[in-house]
Amino acid sequence: MLEEVFNKALHSLASRKKLRTLIIVNFDQAVLLPIEGPCGHFSPLGDYNLHNHMVLVMDVDKDWTGSYWVKRSALLNSLHTQDSSRKTYRGYILITA
């Protein structure tokens, strides 16, 4: 169910409604990038490519990574990890106008 809602939100990023939707993800950077992990991180998503199923992560740590494209499946894998200090799963925040 949550993945279904997340996919609908990604589709809204790819549509004309993108200015009305904001998605902020809490993900494990080590799943997506070549870093020593795990490494919990928050960043907003900027766009979604419907044809390639790629998500634009607008990384807030611009000095280190900047923005980058990742496969939707890889992003979902990075969301389905546990925060080591709290033993709770990561997720996302969806804000719509």
Q: What is the mean pLDDT of each run of 10 residues along the chain (97 residues)?
A: 79 72 86 70 91 91 79 89 76 84
Q: Of 75, 68, 27, whose CA–CA distance to 53 is shortest?
A: 75
Task: Kindly list the distances between the CA atom of residue 5 and the CA atoms of 11, 67, 87, in Å, as whole numbers in the listed order.
Answer: 10, 24, 23
Parent domain of 25: 2-96
- Residue 38 is predicted with a pLDDT of 59
- Residue 19 is predicted with a pLDDT of 64
CATH number at residue 50: 3.90.70.30
- Residue 53 is predicted with a pLDDT of 93
Measured distance CA(51)–CA(53) in Å, rounded: 6
- Residue 82 is predicted with a pLDDT of 74
pLDDT tens readout for residues 54-82: 999 998 876 677 788 999 999 988 888 77
Measured distance CA(41)–CA(84) in Å, rounded: 12
How many domains, in total, are found in the chain?
1
